[in-house]
Amino acid sequence: MSVALVTGSAGLIGSEAARHFASLGLDVVGIDNDLRRYFFGQDGSTAWSLLRLTSDLGDSYTHFDLDIRDRDGIEQVFKKYGTSIAVVIHAAAQPSHDWAAKEPFTDFDVNAVGTINVLEHTRLHAPEAVFIHCSTNKVYGDRPNSLPLRELESRYELDEDHPYYNGITEDMSIDGSLHSIFGASKVAADVMVQEYGRYFGMNTAAFRGGTLTGPAHSAAELHGFLAYLMRCVMEGRTYNLYGYKGKMVRDAIHSHDVLTAFEAYFRNPRPGEVYNLGGGRFSNTSHIEAFRIAEEITGREAKINYVDRHRIGDHQWWISSMAKFQSHYPEWRPTYDIPKILREIYEANADTWKPE
Ligand SMILES: NC(=O)c1ccc[n+]([C@@H]2O[C@H](COP(=O)([O-])OP(=O)(O)OC[C@H]3O[C@@H](n4cnc5c(N)ncnc54)[C@H](O)[C@@H]3O)[C@@H](O)[C@H]2O)c1
């Protein structure tokens, strides 16, 4: 028996990971206590996703309603499955930049301490397992905002001859910038994951995500930008758009493309690596451009409340370079661009996200 242990298994990336590794024939053990509901309220709850997962995967999925802050509880799960664990996908987190400042203790306990709980028990009970950590581009803090951006009609943009035009590479410093409380707790986890690769020689990798998205996102205002944007347009809700004239740029990668990248690493791991992970030039959008596409897909007009103040530490422009990852895993290709992502979110939620 080979086991894929997935933390945050009801969330966007965790649920895709559970399905993906189950489809490869592994038994999946999931850990999730729906803390997303505590963070973001009922809109953010992942209970619906867990129900779907257990019914779709049947016997190949075993769930633990457990908190990753519970070190002893985590130890029991690792003791039970031990060296049969072939891969750990660590996707449980407090994922919001803005929420973290409300409760810095909770944010740090979940993101930093929770990560070492899972990491150290991997080392103690399944040291050969591949460990895949979901990090974030917020580890670079607001340094991308110092790039020489030009303002175009619908977005900020770099000149084509700038070295980062095709995406920001992993050599950008993570030091000496404003990270937000969330960015700082994720830096702690990211560096610890690298250290378990370098110091202990384990097959660990930190994937620094741009905007990760897909229909399994429990869209809430504070997290899940594209899904929440589409939800607002579909339900006729007002979207609060903060700062930068709505021209800030994000690259978005679909959870399916995230999992094909994780699978490539799982099959051929390299200890202590960091990779940026995003849609790159293939899949990126400004907020204004995303609204236009959502309006085209739905045939509805977006209701936007523009707030002339950007979020603290928010990126004005982020496009990930996938060059390093693709040089290590040349067979990997992204398959979803922004219109395809938005259309899928629309179709998956057409029956539930209706105007009030
Ligand atoms: N979605 C993005 O745009 C994005 C971007 C960059 C990085 N990431 C990172 O990717 C990872 C996954 O993100 P996501 O979008 O799937 O998030 P998500 O909120 O959809 O999923 C996380 C899941 O973890 C669970 N969880 C949270 N704290 C827990 C705890 N203490 N114990 C057990 N379960 C807990 C939540 O209930 C939720 O179901 C996170 O580490 C996040 O920081 C996400």
Q: What is the whole-number distance in angstroms between the Cα of residue 7 and the centre of ligand 1?
A: 9
For residue 105, the tally of other CB atoms under 10 A from its CB is 8
Q: Is 259 in the pocket of ligand 1 (CB under 6 A)?
A: no
Nearest to 244 by CA among 294, 289, 179, 311: 311
Question: Which tens digit of pLDDT belongs to each residue from 104-130?
Answer: 999 999 999 999 999 999 999 999 999
What is residue 134's predicted lDDT score, i.e. its pLDDT?
98
Q: Is 211 in the pocket of ligand 1 (CB under 6 A)?
A: yes
How far is Cα 229 from Cα 235, in angstroms, rounded to an integer?
A: 10
What is residue 217's predicted lDDT score, i.e. its pLDDT?
84
What is residue 15's predicted lDDT score, i.e. its pLDDT?
98
Q: What is the whole-number distance in angstroms between the Cα of residue 148 and the centre of ligand 1?
A: 32
How far is Cα 288 from Cα 258, in angstroms, rounded to an integer?
A: 25
Q: Is 30 in the pocket of ligand 1 (CB under 6 A)?
A: no
The helix/strand/coil state of 134 is: strand
Name the residue with the closest Cα to ligand 1, atom 4. 212
What is the token pair recorded at 251?
């690259």
What is residue 126's predicted lDDT score, i.e. its pLDDT?
98
What is residue 252's predicted lDDT score, i.e. its pLDDT?
97
Q: Is 341 in the pocket of ligand 1 (CB under 6 A)?
A: no
Q: Is 10 in the pocket of ligand 1 (CB under 6 A)?
A: yes
Q: What is the whole-number distance in angstroms between the Cα of residue 313 and the centre of ligand 1?
A: 20
The pLDDT tens digits along the chain (356 residues) read 799 999 999 999 999 999 999 999 999 999 999 999 999 999 899 999 999 999 999 999 999 999 999 999 999 999 999 999 999 999 999 999 899 999 999 999 999 999 999 999 999 999 999 999 999 999 999 999 999 999 999 999 999 999 999 999 999 999 999 999 999 999 999 999 999 999 999 999 999 999 999 888 888 888 888 999 999 999 999 999 999 999 999 999 999 999 999 999 999 999 999 999 999 999 999 999 999 999 999 999 999 999 999 988 889 999 999 999 999 999 999 999 999 999 999 999 999 999 87
Q: Is 93 in the pocket of ligand 1 (CB under 6 A)?
A: yes
User: Residue 88: beta bridge partners?
Assistant: 5, 131
Ligand 1: which of 36, 51, 106, 256 to mutate, most ligand atoms within 8 Å of CB? 36
Contact predicate 148/156, CB 8 Å: no
What is residue 120's predicted lDDT score, i.e. its pLDDT?
98
